Structure 1
Amino acid sequence: MRNSVDTLNAMAIFVRVVERGNFSAVARELQTSQPTISKVLQALETRLGGKLIARSTRKLSLTDEGQRYYNECRIILAAVDAAEHSFQSGREKVAGPLKIGSSVSFGRLQIAPRLPDFLRRYPDVQIDLQLSDQNQDLVSEGLDVTFRIGALNDSGLIARLVGSTHRVTVASPDYLRQYGKPQTPQELGRHNCLMFNLLSSQNLWIYTKDAQRHEVRIKGNAQSNNSEAIRELVLGGLGIALSPVWLFSEDLKAGRVTAILQDYTAESLPIHAVSPANRRQSARVKAFVDYMSRALETAPELKAIK
């Protein structure tokens, strides 16, 4: 029995080394040393009678046998994980490390403010919030769950729809005084429009009115991969933006920006919580996703402007 447990542990370490791409990262995760990880894999290779990893000074790469073994290990470990979860279901404590990913603006404005309440409910959870405006690779970065806004392109993920973000077309009062207020989406073509360039739609803004779809190709002299940078450009009077309501909710209340084209409904964007497909969702991941889903459902700053 002991030998079987040791083999499963070695298989799990092997899979993590492959997914993380180096020994040091796995050693840090497991709070052990790099030589210890190397010894585990060497013992596993000795047991199997062949090389799993072709080591070089620059990177790790799998041998053909290693690739096949990696695929089999993932299946076996997932089955073991599922069996344990089935046995422990309902008894697992919400505790332990939880690594969360998000875009910078959504994470700062929508996730971080809710973490104190979540941690008051679950004080045995330790959160690591990682913010990036690039789509984070969940496996290589060791994320348990990340939040993505917009259409999902990666079908190899476990995704749960946790909300939607309504969008509003905004400009500063100074910009509108100088260049006029567009009355239809088509008139946006004559304005300086500011583009958030990480969405798949990019320069295509889509609206509906009376069940009719309106598409307009926008252009402008500035774009960014960060929502808050777009906000600063709008506040500076540079142009018009189509952005999440939550990004400008306080500015709209204070009159720093004006909502335009309110007779038209801008296309909303889904919000998904996504996790790696080969990793069981722990109780802490489920608790956090459930918590965020309830919070986002009732958040007034995510609702459409009436």
Structure 2
Amino acid sequence: MRCLVDKLNAMAIFVRVVERGSFSAVARELQTSQPTISKVLQALESELGGKLIARSTRKLSLTEEGQRYFDHCRQILAAVDAAEHSFQSGRETIAGPLRIGSSVSFGRLQIAPRLPAFLERYPDVRVDLQLSDHNQDLVSEGLDVTFRIGALNDSGLIARHIGSTHRITVAAPQYLAQHGQPQTPDDLREHNCLQFNLLSSQNLWIYTHGARRHEVRIKGNAQSNNSEAIREMVLGGLGVALSPVWLFSEDLKAGRVTALLQDYSAQSLPIHAVSPANRRQSARVKAFVDFMSQALESAPELQAIK
């Protein structure tokens, strides 16, 4: 039995090295040293009688035999994981490391403030919150779950819809004093519109009014891949933005921005919690996703402006 356990452990380390593309990254995950990880893989290669990984100074790549072995290892480890989960169902404790991914703004404004309440409820969980305004690769970055806003393009992921981001059209009073206030979506063609360029429809703003749909191709002299940068541009009087309600909720209350086109409903964006397809969702991941889903459902700053 000990030999089998050691073999499964070596296979799991091999799979993580391939997924992360780094011996040192896996060593940090497992709180061990890089030479220890190297020795495990060297022993595995020696036992198998061939090379699994072609090492170079720039990156790790699999040999042809290594790729076949990697595919089989993932299937075996997934089967073992599923068997353990079936046996432990209902008894798994909510504890251990939880690596969460998110965009910078959503993570800072919607996830980080809720972590104290989550960790008070589950004190044995250790959270690592990783923020990036590019779609994070869950496997290579070792994420257990990430939160994505907008349409999902990768069908190879496990996604759970946990809410919607309602959006509003906003501008600062000083901009409107100089350029006037748009009365219909078509009027936006005459305004400086600020684009959040990570959305596939960045320059197409869509509204509905009753049963009628309005699509407007906008243009402007500034764009960004960070929604908080867009917010700063709006506050500075640079132009008009179509942004999440939660990004401007305090500014609306304080009168720093004005909500425009309130007779028209802007297209909302779905919020998904996304996990790797080949990794069983642990109890702590499920607990956090459930927690965030309930929190977002009742969060006033995520509701549509009435």
Aligned equivalents of 1:4 and 1:30: distance in 2? 20
Q: Give the fraction of aligned pairs with identical amino acids, expressed as a percent.
A: 86
Aligned equivalents of 1:37 and 1:128: distance in 2? 22
Residue 299 of structure 1: aligned partner? 299
Aligned equivalents of 1:55 and 1:229: distance in 2? 41
Q: Which runs of 4+ in 1 moved over 6 A?
A: none
Residue 111 of structure 1: aligned partner? 111
What CA deviation, in whole Å up to 9, does each residue of 1:224-271 have, x standing for no partner?
111111111111111100000000001111111111111111000000
Q: Which moved more, 1:266-275 or 1:35-44?
A: 35-44
Residue 144 of structure 2: aligned partner? 144
Aligned equivalents of 1:301 and 1:23: distance in 2? 42
Letter paired with 2:142: G
Matched position secondary structure for 2:205:
strand
User: How is 1:191-230 mapped onto 2 (pairs within 5 angstroms)?
Assistant: 191-230=191-230
What CA deviation, in whole Å up to 9, does each residue of 1:143-165 have, x standing for no partner?
11110000011111111001000
What CA deviation, in whole Å up to 9, does each residue of 1:54-96 have, x standing for no partner?
1122221101010011011111101110111111111111111
Matched position secondary structure for 2:39:
helix
Residue 155 of structure 1: aligned partner? 155
Aligned equivalents of 1:123 and 1:28: distance in 2? 22
What CA deviation, in whole Å up to 9, does each residue of 1:131-183 have, x standing for no partner?
11111111111111110000011111111001000000001111111111111
Residue 252 of structure 2: aligned partner? 252
User: Is 1:69 matched with 2:75?
Assistant: no
Letter paired with 1:92: E
Residue 58 of structure 1: aligned partner? 58
Letter paired with 1:9: N
Which ranges of structure 1 fall in alignment gaps of 5 or more residues?
A: none
Letter paired with 1:125: V
Aligned equivalents of 2:33 and 2:177: distance in 1? 64
User: How is 1:1-306 mapped onto 2 (pairs within 5 angstroms)?
Assistant: 1-306=1-306
Letter paired with 2:198: L
Aligned equivalents of 1:26 and 1:103: distance in 2? 24
Q: 1:31 deviation in Å?
A: 1.4
Letter paired with 2:44: L
Matched position secondary structure for 2:270:
strand
Matched position secondary structure for 1:168:
strand
Letter paired with 1:263: D
Letter paired with 1:227: S
Letter paired with 1:145: V
What CA deviation, in whole Å up to 9, does each residue of 1:185-237 have, x standing for no partner?
11100000000001111110001111111100100011111111111111111
Aligned equivalents of 1:113 and 1:270: distance in 2? 21
Aligned equivalents of 1:52 and 1:125: distance in 2? 34
Letter paired with 1:34: Q
RMSD: 0.8
TM-score in terms of structure 2 length: 0.98
TM-score in terms of structure 1 length: 0.98
